[in-house]
Structure 1
């Protein structure tokens, strides 16, 4: 398998949280980065500056993953971005962008459910489809799921259902794209101390202690833990792994 000396990876939702840490971890591994953001242009620029300080090239593009009608225009923007990096193809894609919703099964509304479908299932499905012409043969695709697709915590039925669907999608992508040597895997974080979900795991001491108590390694996860796991799955040495779900939760609810 031939891997370019400086692979280029696209990370959706790369301006903050897990996406930003994935971008930095991959940059340390020698990747040039194209990241997307929805509204936080300033935060995206701050991440670009950190990547550039590591000696790698980086660009940021706006994208709303919930709006599949905008994907053709985004692909054309991306072509231009790749040209600025003297490239024509991506070597990696991480479908990371997301948003949470917290409501019991009984109280979840159709509007909340439809938003989760658009962001977490329809978005990765059709964005990856639209990007197929720009994915190099033997590229890596990593879809971000959640530990909530394995264990159940009340209040996340809609969100977790989408992540379960993404895990099935990853297996189908791995099977159907294998003829081009494209590897597709799922990374499922556990409870992470970021601003996701209003920063509950990070800011609520009682919840943080609970997470630590049910985690084999005895603490809640940090964004850097997930960045490192994503980078590991994108390395050349992980090329024999495809169609797999890898959970990075520190052993939560074993």
Structure 2
């Protein structure tokens, strides 16, 4: 059992038992660790103690995020212009769309290098063309990852191995980077999907948005349902932060890779955000 799997088991337990205020020994038992080792593991992973995390859950964490850390669409529009790309997109993540032929032909002309890796939020498969990262998804095991790659890229040449773009993507999922290096994504998607994914890049770490916010940023305010579908089709986990989108009610909503993982990401980012703000 890797670190994230232990954390995930503990968080699942806390989500269903937080009203009982379980003690450290009860939580640690879920991760099959002693209380001492679990306390250290959880604190290293999250930046706060398990007790502090229970307190977050007790005040209905997602609703608190929505109330206090929601992205201001008007401020974002002022900073970036709705018809332009965000500064985050310009400085840190850039999206290049695949050509219609690459999209249509299942990557027939592409050589895609891939690897499997463990991250803060579980095991992933990450793959890149010569132009940028094209896939980053959480997987149950490497065999499932290979099946996924072949479904996504049935006609591409798939080559095991690492490259600089993969490594830069993985750094963002394994370390707290204050100044991440620029990262290129090479994605297949419809023009509408690409516009939604670019809108997601405007949600900074420590902030959240609702589906209607993303619809406005994607200049499609009347297409909230279609925007939700496009968000669910995001091919690059975490780097395109679809986990930062909540329902208007403050509920977490769905997540392609599991709501526990989504909560884990939001919680860890919020802790990092609060820490950075307190040290400015």
Normalising by the smaller structure, the TM-score range is under 0.3
The TM-score normalised by the length of structure 2 is 0.23
The TM-score normalised by the length of structure 1 is 0.25
- Which structure has the greater CA radius of gyration? 2
